[in-house]
Each structure stands twice: as structure tokens, then as C-alpha cells.
């Protein structure tokens, strides 16, 4: 049993005129504690569909998902979710108050809440901006606060759906570096969705490549055994990039021809 076990997962949507359309079919995956698992695949293949079921926002058509052996049937505090260009910060709360907010339900004193929130505000490098309101923060800073807010409740797993997708290239690079550092510091398990091969190679401990939809499943899982040098000057990096790139391209071609299995 892993931290996360997904077994024979299928998800169908009702489509206009065409009955049920299976976005995901017979998708299997196990994730161990402490992993930084990147789920990679072409746009529209069903990555977000898998994540929303892990988050408990949607129910599977068939199959099971479990976290720590317990079936996932609804959203829960054992999971934290960060979406692309997430802008769910409360505009009337400062940065640190936004992070604190997640702790309100946990019965901590004001002082304890502030202390714990500050630990994570510092971890994401925003101690000096702690009293700013969201409207006074850049996109990258807001995304850091989202991550701090997700981590402060100490979830068993952090679910991220293209969280850096809306950032400019430079900010994105900085955030990838920061995210990896935070993952190492906290030991939190992460499921990270991306369509960007480089991003998955920079961040992941394993990369699961999906087939193109409809009826998408996992095609292949790669162990990322690159150590710390995750740049194009590392021959291991470029060879893994090429391998993944060729199967992603096959999948994109397949979906363009419309012969998704
Ligand atoms: P990705 O995140 O990989 O880009 P999605 O999971 O968003 O892909 O979508 C996978 C497929 O499922 C797409 O064909 C999409 O149109 C379809 N889909 C996703 N959500 C819904 C929905 N709520 N209703 C109908 N179809 C959906
Ligand atoms: Mg998506």
C-alpha cells in the first residue's frame, strides 16, 4: 500500500449527443510518502480530471482512490490543493493573515497561529512582505502565499495543478527552485501536474507520462535519478528529456489523428 493508491480509475463525462465520453479509463498509480510525483501529458489528456478526483471534488465513474489506505470520497484537510494562477487569497487579509486563516479551525491560540504562519511565510521568502495585501503582491508572491497557506495545515499531500503556469518565465524558474527547496525542507509528498517536460525534470522524483485522451491512462513512469544537477549541461538530463519528449510527441500525434484508444 502506498500513500496514494489509484486503482482502475475511470471518469466519464456526458457529452452533447455522443453519450458518455471516457476522459480517463483504467488509470492505475501508487505514490509513496515523500515523493515529488509529476504527472505529465499533453493538454486535454485528463491530468486535471485525475487531480480533482484526488482532491475529492469529483467522484470517479469506476475504480478507487485512497490516501493512507482510506478511500477518498470528499475534500479533506489531509490534502491541500493549489491550482494554476490560483487567486483565492482573501483581498481583505494581509499575506500572513491569509496563511493564518487555514489554522483557524484547528483551535490554536492567536499567538500559535501567527508563529506557525510566519514559519511558512519565511519559508516561501516573504517575511518582509507579510503585512502587504494581495493587491500589493506580484503574481509570483501571491503564488508563494498560496503555497504557504497550503502547507501550514501540514497536509499529508500537496496536490498542484500547473501552479506555475501563469507566471512569467523568470519568476517561474525561481519558483521551481523554491518549490524543490520547500519540498526538501518539509518532506511533504507532492503530486504536481504539468505539461512542461523541463519542469517535470527539474522538480520530480518520478514522472508519470499519460497517454493522450480520450480513455487516457498512464503510459510510462520514469525514475528521475539525476541528483541535484538538473540542467541541460547534465547528459543524463538531456537523454531523459529526449526519451520523454519522444513519447509525449507520439501521444500528441495520436490525439491529433483522433485514434485515442
Ligand atoms: P488536462 O488537465 O490534461 O488538460 P482535463 O482533465 O482538463 O485535461 O480534461 C480531459 C478531458 O475531459 C478533456 O477532453 C475535457 O474536455 C474533458 N472534461 C474535463 N472536465 C469536464 C467536464 N466537467 N465536463 C465535460 N468534459 C470534461
Ligand atoms: Mg488541466
**Per-residue model confidence as pLDDT tens digits over 86-100:** 678 999 999 999 999
Q: Which residues line ligand 1 (CB under 6 A)?
A: 13, 23, 41, 43-49, 213
Ligand 1 centre distance from Cα of residue 11 (Å): 10
Report the Cα–Cα distance between both ends of the chain, in Å, rounded: 29
Calpha distance 253→261 (Å, rounded): 13
**Percentage of the chain surpassing pLDDT 70?**
98
Calpha distance 12→198 (Å, rounded): 30
pLDDT value at residue 260: 47
Q: Which residues surround ligand 2, an ion (CB under 5 A)?
A: 48
Q: Check if the beta carbon of residue 193 is closer than 8 Å to that of residue 47.
A: yes
Shortest-distance atom of ligand 1 to CA 195: 3
Ligand 2 centre distance from Cα of residue 153 (Å): 25
- Encode burial over 206-226: b for 16+ CB neighbours within 10 A, e otherwise: bbbbbbbbbbbbbbeebebee
Shortest-distance atom of ligand 1 to CA 161: 2
Calpha distance 202→249 (Å, rounded): 20
pLDDT value at residue 86: 67
Cis amide prior to 234 (ω within 30 degrees)? no
Shortest-distance atom of ligand 1 to CA 41: 3
Rounded to two decimals, the pTM is: 0.93
pLDDT value at residue 259: 60
Indicate the pairing of strand 189-194 with strand 157-161: parallel
| CA-angle at 148, arms to 144 and 152, nearest 5° | 175
Domains and CATH numbers, the chain: 4-78+155-257 (3.40.50.300), 86-154 (no CATH)
Mutate which of 48, 54, 192, 215 for ligand 1? The one with the most ligand atoms within 8 Å of its CB, which is: 48
- pLDDT tens, per residue, the chain with 261 residues: 899 999 999 999 998 877 889 999 999 999 999 999 999 998 899 999 999 999 999 999 999 999 999 999 999 989 999 988 767 899 999 999 999 998 887 888 999 999 999 999 998 899 999 999 999 999 889 989 999 999 998 899 999 999 988 888 888 898 899 899 999 989 999 999 999 999 999 999 999 999 998 999 999 999 999 888 899 999 999 999 999 999 999 999 988 887 644
Residues 6+ apart with CB under 8 A from 141: 95, 126, 129
Ligand 2 centre distance from Cα of residue 193 (Å): 8
Q: Check if the beta carbon of residue 26 is closer than 8 Å to that of residue 9.
A: yes
Q: Whose alpha carbon is nearest atom 10 of ligand 1? A: 46
Q: Which of 38, 33, 68, 36 is nearest to 50 (CA)?
A: 38
Shortest-distance atom of ligand 1 to CA 14: 25
Q: Which of 23, 36, 33, 40 is nearest to 67 (CA)?
A: 33
Which region, left, alpha or beta, applies to residue 256 given φ > 0 means left and ψ of -120 to 50 means alpha? alpha
Amino acid at each position: 500500500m502506498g500513500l496514494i493508491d489509484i486503482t482502475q480509475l475511470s471518469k466519464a463525462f456526458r457529452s452533447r449527443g455522443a453519450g458518455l465520453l471516457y476522459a480517463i479509463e483504467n488509470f492505475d498509480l501508487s505514490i509513496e510518502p515523500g515523493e515529488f510525483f509529476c504527472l505529465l501529458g499533453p493538454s486535454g489528456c485528463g491530468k486535471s480530471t485525475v487531480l480533482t478526483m484526488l482532491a475529492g471534488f469529483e467522484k470517479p465513474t469506476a475504480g478507487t482512490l485512497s490516501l493512507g489506505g482510506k478511500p477518498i470520497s470528499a475534500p479533506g484537510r489531509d490534502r491541500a490543493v493549489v491550482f494554476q494562477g490560483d487567486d483565492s487569497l482573501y483581498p481583505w487579509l494581509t499575506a500572513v493573515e491569509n496563511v493564518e486563516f487555514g489554522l483557524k479551525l484547528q483551535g490554536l491560540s492567536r499567538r500559535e497561529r501567527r508563529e506557525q504562519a510566519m514559519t511558512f511565510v519565511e519559508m516561501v521568502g516573504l517575511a518582509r512582505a507579510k503585512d502587504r495585501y494581495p493587491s500589493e503582491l506580484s503574481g509570483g508572491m501571491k503564488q508563494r502565499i498560496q503555497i504557504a497557506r497550503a502547507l501550514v495545515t501540514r497536509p499529508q499531500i500537496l496536490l498542484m495543478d500547473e501552479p506555475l503556469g501563469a507566471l512569467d518565465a523568470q519568476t517561474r524558474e525561481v519558483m521551481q527552485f523554491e518549490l524543490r527547496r520547500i519540498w526538501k525542507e518539509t518532506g511533504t509528498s507532492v503530486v504536481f501536474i504539468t505539461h512542461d517536460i523541463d519542469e517535470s525534470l527539474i522538480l520530480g522524483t518520478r514522472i508519470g507520462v499519460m497517454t493522450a485522451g480520450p480513455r487516457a491512462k498512464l503510459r510510462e513512469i520514469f525514475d528521475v535519478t539525476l541528483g541535484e544537477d538538473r540542467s541541460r549541461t547534465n547528459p543524463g538530463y538531456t537523454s531523459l528529456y529526449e526519451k520523454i519528449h519522444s513519447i509525449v510527441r507520439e501521444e500528441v500525434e495520436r490525439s491529433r489523428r483522433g485514434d485515442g484508444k
